[in-house]
């Protein structure tokens, strides 16, 4: 029974009761019943004749504008947001200033990737991720985009570049739908970026690792798709434990002149 029906029944019932000698009490009772009817009518008008979904149900699915990127429709938007939340964690907990391999594993975790150093290439292997000059873009792509291939548009990358199976094996499911991968950054210094993430997968990057061009190239930053600084680290075990110096120098070289280099350049100036 709706609240309005309940109120009406109550009003009818009260009308059939013997008259109460106190006029003030009868008048008060009558006014309260009328108020109940008014409230019920307002509630019915506001919510419709039936309530088919709770507020929790309505909030479970984000608006379409929060799930879709019109410029780069291959982006797994909610997964990207989850990555950014994890980056906040590793930016604050000090692990990016610990031993390099531990820092790298935490970067993989933040990006929604498993640490699979013993898997075969193409079958989820992530031992190269953030460990050379090129595989430093953390990309979150929609499920239907994961099997996209390079048709030759991304210069310097093999035609084909089949990554779908590895993405599915290595991606951590708890960050939501879609997958993650450490894609090649080559071409990111163009405007718009002409790299694997933006061209092959039509996706934004969640973050990019850039080595700071200080004397030893021993500090790195994580920046988002707009080049905004998200986190930085200086591994505690020193330059010898890092990817080779020429890898770190080449990494910055391919970013130079682009929005992705700005944060690293600023830190180098302040050193």
Domain coordinates in residue numbering, the chain: 3-47, 66-270
Alpha helix (H) residue ranges in the chain: 3-16, 23-47, 55-60, 77-92, 100-110, 164-170, 245-255, 262-270
CA neighbor of 206 nearest in space, from 177, 228, 238: 228
What are the pLDDT digits (tens) for 163-199?
788 999 999 999 999 999 999 999 999 999 999 999 9
Residue 167 has what pLDDT? 93
pTM to 2 decimal places: 0.74
Residue 205 above 50 pLDDT? yes
Q: Which residue has the higher pLDDT, 26 or 161?
A: 161
pLDDT tens readout for residues 115-148: 999 999 989 999 999 999 999 999 999 998 776 6
Confidence of residue 25 (pLDDT cuts 50, 70, 90): very low
């Amino acid at each position: 029974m709706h609240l309005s029906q309940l109120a009406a029944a109550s009003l009818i019932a009260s009308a059939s009761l013997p008259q109460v000698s106190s006029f003030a009490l009868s008048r008060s009772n009558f006014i309260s019943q009328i108020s109940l009817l008014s409230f019920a009518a307002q509630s019915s008008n506001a919510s419709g004749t039936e309530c088919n979904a709770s507020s929790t149900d309505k909030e479970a699915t984000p608006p379409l504008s929060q799930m879709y990127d019109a410029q780069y429709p291959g982006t797994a938007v909610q997964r990207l947001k989850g990555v950014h939340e994890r980056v906040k964690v590793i930016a604050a907990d000090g692990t990016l200033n610990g031993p390099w391999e531990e820092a790298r594993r935490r970067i993989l975790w933040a990006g929604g990737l498993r640490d699979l150093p013993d898997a075969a290439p193409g079958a989820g292997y992530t031992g190269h991720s953030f460990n050379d000059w090129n595989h430093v873009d953390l990309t979150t792509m929609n499920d239907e985009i994961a099997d996209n291939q390079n048709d030759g548009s991304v210069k310097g990358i093999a035609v084909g570049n089949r990554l779908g199976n590895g993405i599915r094996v290595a991606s951590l499911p708890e960050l939501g739908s879609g997958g993650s991968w450490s894609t090649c950054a080559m071409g990111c210094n163009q405007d718009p970026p002409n790299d694997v993430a933006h061209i092959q997968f039509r996706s934004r990057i969640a973050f990019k690792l850039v080595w700071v061009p200080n004397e030893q190239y021993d500090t790195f930053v994580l920046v988002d798709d707009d080049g905004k600084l998200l986190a930085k680290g200086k591994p505690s075990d020193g330059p010898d434990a890092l990817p080779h110096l020429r890898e770190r120098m080449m990494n910055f070289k391919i970013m130079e002149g682009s929005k992705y280099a700005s944060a690293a350049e600023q830190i180098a100036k302040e050193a």
